[in-house]
Amino acid sequence: MDVVAVLGLGAMGGRMAARLLKAGYRLQVWNRTPGAAADLVASGATLAASPRAAAAGAAFVIAMLRDDEASRRVWLDPMDGALAGLEPQAVAIESSTLSLDWIHQLGHAAQERGVRLVEAPVAGTRPQVEAGQLIYLVGGTTADWARAEPVLKCLGSAIHLVGPIGSGALAKLCVNTLLGVQVTALAELVGILKRSGVNVEQTMKVVAATPVWSPVAARSIDSMLAGNFATQFPVELAEKDFGYVLAAAGSPAAAPTIAAAHNVFRNAQAKGLQHLNLTGVVQLFL
């Protein structure tokens, strides 16, 4: 089996690495805090001292990182960046949720170095990665997508080629923006119903029987009514993604509804809710 490197072993990256290891890939891993790799190393993975060292000899290098800054450092650090460690036929797979501007910069940097880059952000959180049910939103060439597909199939149940580099980032930001806007509207409605003395649970059951309801609305309202904000997708990352999509829009005036939802998440961070699941923004309206 090929050698695969995974850079970033957080909530998603660590689970991706575990699935790849179970699938039989030889695994090289790196994380900013090495302790996160302990279980993987015990299962047979090799811990590298830097992203560049992890990429050395790997056929595929997957990054799952927090934001643009982390991605830039991991791929392009002058001393330890992963791009410099890639073999000529290797494929760089960037699965982080990033801004359109940065993924274009990374694409240009990869092209200058003769590196194949596939952007492959995902729809899904921890349960989906554990079950191999992620949905991939791929940007890149058809040839590079085909080359990466066998590895991605270990982690996802659907792999969609959206278009050239940048298309995947925008598709993922669309997904997260729709999620965040729905959660914001539901949180505000819960507050309105409670202040009006209406039975929130019963009212939402009725609303759920109409065509406007969605699966994510069902999960979100259950979380809000139960007060269960165990983190799947935290407030702080949702706020970050709203900022990225507004940057792509050009200005808040070009996307006023998104800008308004962004402000809700910024307020939630200011109130100390940043580590809660994004449905925790309901606390602003109770």
| Buried-exposed string 205-232: b where 16+ CB fall within 10 A, e elsewhere | eeeeeeeeeeeebeebbebbeeeebebb
Q: Considering only CA atoms, which of 96, 85, 18, 87 is closest in space to residue 51? A: 85
Burial of 285 (C-beta count, 10 Å sphere; 0-12/13-18/19+): middle
Amino acid at 9: L
Q: Which two tokens stand for residue 55?
A: 């990429």
User: Which residue among the candidates 172, 194, 205, 271 is catalytic per the annotation?
Assistant: 172
Strands 122-123 and 60-63: unpaired
Quick check: is 271 catalytic?
A: no
Of 174, 137, 165, residue with least CA distance to 152: 137
CA 149 to CA 233: how far, in whole Å? 26
Q: What is the number of other CB atoms lying within 10 angstroms of the CB of residue 270?
A: 10
Active site residues: 172
